[in-house]
Amino acid sequence: MRAEKIREIDTTELQRQAADAADQLFRLKFQMAMGQTDGLRKYRALKRDRARMLTILRQRELNPAEKPEPEKKGKKGKK
């Protein structure tokens, strides 16, 4: 996944995707150790994508004013 596409995703979704990627990495690494698959390219690409996600999350954590979170739709302010 390209960094531009990752930056378009909101923070909560990005955190969920990073956690999913970590889980997939664990499973793929386990399968490779057992000799069930030879997905070294997939492993490397997934590892790279997760690193991009974590980098962008960290950038957002350090500079929250740089890209504000999208506002949630719901109740409006005072009458």
pTM > 0.75: yes or no:
no
Q: Report which of 58, 70, 59 is spatially closest to residue 10, judged by C-alpha positions.
A: 70
CA atoms within 13 A on the CB side of 24: 17
Mean residue pLDDT across the chain: 83
Do residues 28 and 3 touch, judged by C-beta distance below 8 A?
Answer: no
Do residues 55 and 14 touch, judged by C-beta distance below 8 A?
Answer: no
Q: According to the model, what pLDDT value does residue 79 have? A: 47
Statement: residue 44 has pLDDT above 70: yes
Query: Sign of torsion, CA 35 40 44 46?
Result: negative
Q: Give the max Cα distance, the chain.
A: 65
Domains and CATH numbers, the chain: 3-62 (1.10.287)
Statement: residue 73 has pLDDT above 60: no
Mean pLDDT of 23-48: 88
